[in-house]
Structure 1
Amino acid sequence: MATIANSLIVIVLFSLISHGLCVTCTNKNIQIVTTRSGKVVHGKPEWNVVVTNTCKCSQAMIKLSCKGFQTVEPVSSSILSEIGVDTYQLINGDSLAPGAFVKFSYAWDSPSSILPADSLSIPC
């Protein structure tokens, strides 16, 4: 009897996983693309950044590693807020839906290295 029950549990779990119901998102599902806008702000080239959630589920508490980030063009704190040395919180920790993106621009001599550092997967 226990063998049949264990087999059923394995079948149910496999079914859930194969249908995408057991999805866990990570910061690896956060895509960041930086491109030059062509504008100049206070003598510095402007850079456009698009942060996209590529996972099937929402993610929250998205933290970005922005080593040496500087800008002469203000970025709204509702989009990007510094929470530690070279660490920034995206959209105040609010959730980013599957496929959703956040855009911001900054101006500096060269593009900063902006990488996903952490996120919280929201079950879907």
Structure 2
Amino acid sequence: MTRGSLQCFPGSLSDLTVNQVRTRAKIGNKPEWKVTVTNKCICSFLQVMLLCPGFDSVETIKPTSKLVSKIGPKLCLINDGSPIYGGKTFVFTYASDQEIAYAPFSFQEACS
């Protein structure tokens, strides 16, 4: 398999992108941020962990059915460990005075 759009094996951290934008909403008088995590690989990524230093949202993470949970002082598990399928995104929002410097940290690859 060649590397390129939606083609990768094995996957690497560069196949996960994290983008965020400030929304116009305020939650508890704090700005809301929308985070999009994209899996650019054709394979699914499970147990996706992001660096999330300073993560402390005043807003309940949405969607609540797909959690973002803090694992230790600087790591967050996203999508409750469930897969982010190849070519798909996982989106959540949080509210904080400061934008959190999310960055890919680790994942388990599932490719068949």
Amino acid corresponding to residue 50 of structure 1 in structure 2: T
User: Separation in 1 of the partners of 2:2 and 2:15?
Assistant: 19
- Which of 108, 112, 116 pairs up with 2:96? 108
Please report the TM-score for the alignment, with normalisation by the length of structure 2.
0.85
Where does residue 96 of structure 1 map in the other structure? 84
Deviations 1:57-92 (A, max 9, x none): 111111011001121111137321122222111112
User: Separation in 1 of the partners of 2:3 and 2:66?
Assistant: 36
Is contact 1:53-1:101 (8 Å) kept?
Answer: yes
Q: Say if 2:58 is the partner of 1:72.
A: yes
Is contact 2:16-2:37 (8 Å) kept?
Answer: yes
Is contact 1:26-1:121 (8 Å) kept?
Answer: no
Is contact 1:25-1:120 (8 Å) kept?
Answer: no
Q: Say if 2:19 is the partner of 1:33.
A: yes
Mapping 1:32-51, distance limit 5 Å: 32-51=18-37
Please report the TM-score for the alignment, with normalisation by the length of structure 1.
0.77
Structure 1 ranges of 4+ moved more than 4 A? 18-22
Amino acid corresponding to residue 103 of structure 1 in structure 2: V
Where does residue 81 of structure 1 map in the other structure? 69
- Which of 89, 109, 112 pairs up with 1:121? 109
Aligned-pair Cα RMSD in Å: 2.1
Q: What are structure 1's unaligned runs of at least 5 residues?
A: 1-16
2:11 counterpart SS class: coil
| % same residue | 29
Q: How many residues align?
A: 108
Is contact 1:26-1:120 (8 Å) kept?
Answer: no
